[in-house]
Structure 1
């Protein structure tokens, strides 16, 4: 069993999305792209315990916070008004004649398509089973029954979550339905908790799963394991009985019992004994529900026998403990979808790889989000789901297609050092060589420190800098990242007209200076004072010291040799890091500003949007109500 496609509308930062998923996948992209939103959407539709929360969704789950219906009005003074949310929600799942009304309602909708169904699932959901074409990645809707016979046509199930605001209850509602029942019957059929348990979806949130993993709270990993193994601990009555017999601080020497006895004596002066007597202390509320919350596992630490609560262990230990429990869940269920956020949190690289391999082997489908190169390199290109979201909230998946002259072997060899950071960023600056890759981010950072009003660092602009290795490789690297929806820029020395045209065709902005080497640009564009100051701080290599006995006196020539000798070893970057703004070559200063203007443009004077924003409209709606 696996999710082959998820369609999302009006949920959090996603206005629309239609994402195809392979058997195992890692979702990547810059922060706030929509990776976690996809996992949360899957949890709304498939998570057996998610809809037990009340309310299951809230204001911030709606795209741009819009959960109220707007009435159309041509006047400039139009205000947002409330329309019955319950009517709109009903319209979203009602008969075809109400579809027009439904379309006006702000409705969270998540449609999940599931394939590779087990025999148990086919039997249970038979009435709602459809057929999926694995070649075309779409549902088979041809009326010819014989069309389902080919091997690439397989049984599939669709379920749809709807979330809406109910104005009569003044609260939010959410339900999951069999998708076919929404269009084929006037009475939509719910996809209930028992149905979801048969599907077996487990969502493990980053830094949050381990906090109650080994407790007996409902929905904890230990509770899930006990339910899967059909273990019903017959311990409650015995535990409650033993605790009931134990009175805290009963010894008079402690002093508490004397205080309680004086309270009891005073109580008798005011009320009859039937009203209550003999106050004393117990260790619990003596109910099953309270015991579920307070019982937790202890784990021995260090060399001795001292034990501490499991959640007081190190984060890495807790995460590995969670992994061990996951293996128990998968072994007991045999057919489960694992969705896991950032398995690299507090875990060393070798353990990150172990987690990925273990979960992939245990699960019928594993879906990860990650920012770790050690996790990402464990997935093939077809399993790497690169996500991008535009300003309107439309999220898409971009397949990774290597240019013809970029071989898969080279991609894999240089993945950690050259490609990974670009895959995880929104903006990529392709630099010609190692010197440019190290020096240009340093100079932007230095300018931002010296004059934050006029400059920003590349990090603040969300730009990662990648080393192309040579000027001949810039265009192909830029082409790769541009095809993934990244904003691409390039930095290089003077190019031939043909090479410049090739690069320009693949980048949004080309930063090309007129010198043959960036070292020449810096040496000609800086001051003698800056060169002398830097020369005085260096421990000169013997061969340069021998050539220039007094390198400070000949700092310009000596540093030309030094920068060539230290190429790729941060020599030029170290020099620029100690310069003042006026000592940094003008071309570099202008290049920094051009990047800043491209990524963070300043609005034109007088360009003021007079349209009221969403918060103002929502406030007006509440006033109108």
Structure 2
């Protein structure tokens, strides 16, 4: 069973929105776009224990916190989920609640005028539509909420009280129904302590429920074991206290003849109390003393969560878990992030992940990446990353880490090589430090620099990033051969695009950087241990042209990210000493992004 479509109305920062998923999904987008909102929405619809928490929803779960009656109607939170790839057991259990779904049309078949013909087409299957509804009840001065089967909807009589009830005409989608969906939600570790507790809906509670199917009620045995623990035995210091208390209480209460009529127990002997007081104790090296799990480091907690997920996957089976996970990278080193994602993708039926880590993102194929955006009016949209038909998959594989960072970025700057990729951040540093320039650094603007490998490849990436809904900028020097018609057409997808009138970045630098800066650089660089003696020493009497030729030879001799170009640019103290072509392009990017940054909506 998998989530195929999620539709939200009037929920938190989202006025209206639809998210389409196709198997495993990585949700990406800027901060506060709605990634956590989507996970919370899925939990409200599919979480077996979510509706048993109080309150289920509150004022701020309504868009713009508007929950009071408007024009005679109460605003309603509505979250609808379409579940596909149903198991035979689910089809039997929910028979009569199912609808036909077309993977091609991404909609119900019975909405088509040719429904009978479409129902026999390939890609049509049974789906289960379910819905969460919530609103404010003025009579009780409280919020009411529930989950329901969204089909079939029975028409109610408008003249009866039934029509005014929440979910009128819909049958409840119960906790037992939800357990069949196998939904798990792991929030970011700011609430990670709950995931490892015994509270309802936690990972350990899920394990207890699964084990109870074969082992019988584990809580019954635990209660009997706790009841058997003797605290006030004859050799206990509490024995005298118990005796004295009994003698005094017996004067006022008619106690039984049982010798344990007054006793001390370690618990109230209820399931709920055990859930509150039971703790997982863990001993980690180099110490040997066990401590409650919540006293461990954040990284250790995450690894504990990972261990429990492996347990749940084995108990549930490979294809029966819909697993939503927020920011698995918190407090985990890169190798642990990759290991965690590898595991859940391979072992869970469907994984829905939010992340800001390139180490997580690079584990997903582009088709699995869902880019979210939301406007100021609260309209949420989702776009699946789609590589152009003529874009070679190997090119994506060779640049997987760069793609991951670009997916996280607000905008992308595509350059032609490692030298340029190293140069632009240093130019941005100099602009940012120059008080005479109104400039926002690339890092603060959220711009990722992408190394295309050569000048002819720069335009190829324009449609790729533009399809993600990102501003994309391209710059390269004059190619030795004219660009192909196809590359020229792709360059039209750049938000801004510039071809520098030089045959290489080294020629640009020695031409546009003042000679006094070049001379200063040439004199300093000779002291480096990696300086090649054959490049010679700049003579003090060298004229401007000789200085440029000398520095050009040095820059060409030591290219790339570890080359000498960053050292040369580090000599530039302000905009007047920077290469104008590159500095002006960065300023154009800044001017272009400023309005977009200022217009970002708030919310989650």
TM-score by length of 2: 0.80
| Aligned counterparts of 1:144 and 1:598: Cα–Cα separation in 2 | 48
What is the SS of the residue equivalent to 1:245?
A: coil
- In structure 2, the partner of 1:573 is 566
Kindly state the Cα deviation for residue 427 of structure 1 after the two structures are TM-superposed: 0.9
| Aligned counterparts of 1:543 and 1:425: Cα–Cα separation in 2 | 36
Kindly state the Cα deviation for residue 132 of structure 1 after the two structures are TM-superposed: 1.4
The alignment status of 1:321 with 2:309, answered yes or no, reads: no
Q: 1:520 and 1:54, CA in 2 relative to 1: closer, same or farther beyond 3 A?
A: same
String of CA shifts for 1:173-224, please: whole Å, max 9, x gaps: 3222211244655533222222212222111112146424443333322222
The alignment status of 1:236 with 2:227, answered yes or no, reads: no
- In structure 2, the partner of 1:564 is 556
The alignment status of 1:520 with 2:519, answered yes or no, reads: no
Gaps of 5+ in 2: 157-167, 254-262
String of CA shifts for 1:360-415, please: whole Å, max 9, x gaps: 34322222223344433443343333333344433333333333553111211221
The alignment status of 1:548 with 2:536, answered yes or no, reads: yes
| Aligned counterparts of 2:424 and 2:541: Cα–Cα separation in 1 | 27
Gaps of 5+ in 1: 72-82, 89-104, 252-256, 276-280, 605-612, 616-625
Kindly state the Cα deviation for residue 157 of structure 1 after the two structures are TM-superposed: 0.8
- In structure 1, the partner of 2:409 is 425
User: Are 1:298 and 1:308, in contact at CA under 8 Å, matched by a contact in 2?
Assistant: yes
- In structure 1, the partner of 2:587 is 593
User: Are 1:403 and 1:476, in contact at CA under 8 Å, matched by a contact in 2?
Assistant: no
What is the SS of the residue equivalent to 2:303?
A: helix
Kindly state the Cα deviation for residue 110 of structure 1 after the two structures are TM-superposed: 1.2
Q: 1:542 and 1:594, CA in 2 relative to 1: closer, same or farther beyond 3 A?
A: closer
| Aligned counterparts of 1:170 and 1:315: Cα–Cα separation in 2 | 39
Within-5 A mapping of 1:9-48:
9-48=9-48
The alignment status of 1:375 with 2:376, answered yes or no, reads: no
Q: 1:399 and 1:286, CA in 2 relative to 1: closer, same or farther beyond 3 A?
A: closer
| Aligned counterparts of 2:30 and 2:420: Cα–Cα separation in 1 | 24
CA RMSD between the two structures: 3.8
Q: 1:468 and 1:225, CA in 2 relative to 1: closer, same or farther beyond 3 A?
A: same
User: Are 1:27 and 1:35, in contact at CA under 8 Å, matched by a contact in 2?
Assistant: yes
What is the SS of the residue equivalent to 1:459?
A: helix
- In structure 2, the partner of 1:409 is 394
- In structure 2, the partner of 1:187 is 169
Q: 1:123 and 1:286, CA in 2 relative to 1: closer, same or farther beyond 3 A?
A: same
Q: 1:585 and 1:353, CA in 2 relative to 1: closer, same or farther beyond 3 A?
A: closer
Kindly state the Cα deviation for residue 457 of structure 1 after the two structures are TM-superposed: 0.5
- In structure 2, the partner of 1:534 is 521
User: Are 2:462 and 2:491, in contact at CA under 8 Å, matched by a contact in 1?
Assistant: no
Q: 1:124 and 1:511, CA in 2 relative to 1: closer, same or farther beyond 3 A?
A: same
String of CA shifts for 1:287-323, please: whole Å, max 9, x gaps: 6444432321212222563222223334343323222
- In structure 2, the partner of 1:56 is 56
What is the SS of the residue equivalent to 1:460?
A: helix
User: Are 2:226 and 2:266, in contact at CA under 8 Å, matched by a contact in 1?
Assistant: no
User: Are 1:535 and 1:551, in contact at CA under 8 Å, matched by a contact in 2?
Assistant: no
Give the counterpart of 1:483 among 462, 467, 472. Answer: 467
Q: 1:590 and 1:65, CA in 2 relative to 1: closer, same or farther beyond 3 A?
A: farther
Give the counterpart of 2:86 among 113, 117, 124. Answer: 117
Q: 1:530 and 1:228, CA in 2 relative to 1: closer, same or farther beyond 3 A?
A: same
Give the counterpart of 1:470 among 439, 454, 458. Answer: 454
- In structure 1, the partner of 2:349 is 364
What is the SS of the residue equivalent to 1:358?
A: helix
Q: 1:403 and 1:2, CA in 2 relative to 1: closer, same or farther beyond 3 A?
A: closer
| Aligned counterparts of 2:21 and 2:64: Cα–Cα separation in 1 | 26
String of CA shifts for 1:27-78, please: whole Å, max 9, x gaps: 233433333222221111111112222222233333344434556xxxxxxx
| Aligned counterparts of 2:597 and 2:169: Cα–Cα separation in 1 | 52
User: Are 2:324 and 2:351, in contact at CA under 8 Å, matched by a contact in 1?
Assistant: yes
TM-score by length of 1: 0.78
| Aligned counterparts of 1:601 and 1:197: Cα–Cα separation in 2 | 47
User: Are 1:435 and 1:572, in contact at CA under 8 Å, matched by a contact in 2?
Assistant: yes
| Aligned counterparts of 1:603 and 1:409: Cα–Cα separation in 2 | 34
| Aligned counterparts of 2:100 and 2:81: Cα–Cα separation in 1 | 14
| Larger mean Cα displacement after TM superposition, 334-343 or 547-556 | 547-556
| Aligned counterparts of 1:135 and 1:463: Cα–Cα separation in 2 | 35
Within-5 A mapping of 1:98-497:
105=75, 107-141=76-110, 148=119, 152-182=123-153, 184=155, 187-208=169-190, 210-230=192-212, 231-233=217-219, 234-236=221-223, 238-239=225-226, 242=229, 245=232, 286=268, 288=270, 289-302=272-285, 305-334=288-317, 335-416=320-401, 418-451=402-435, 454-494=438-478
| Aligned counterparts of 2:326 and 2:596: Cα–Cα separation in 1 | 36
| Aligned counterparts of 1:356 and 1:603: Cα–Cα separation in 2 | 31
What is the SS of the residue equivalent to 1:180?
A: coil
Counting matched residue pairs gives 556
What is the SS of the residue equivalent to 1:322?
A: helix
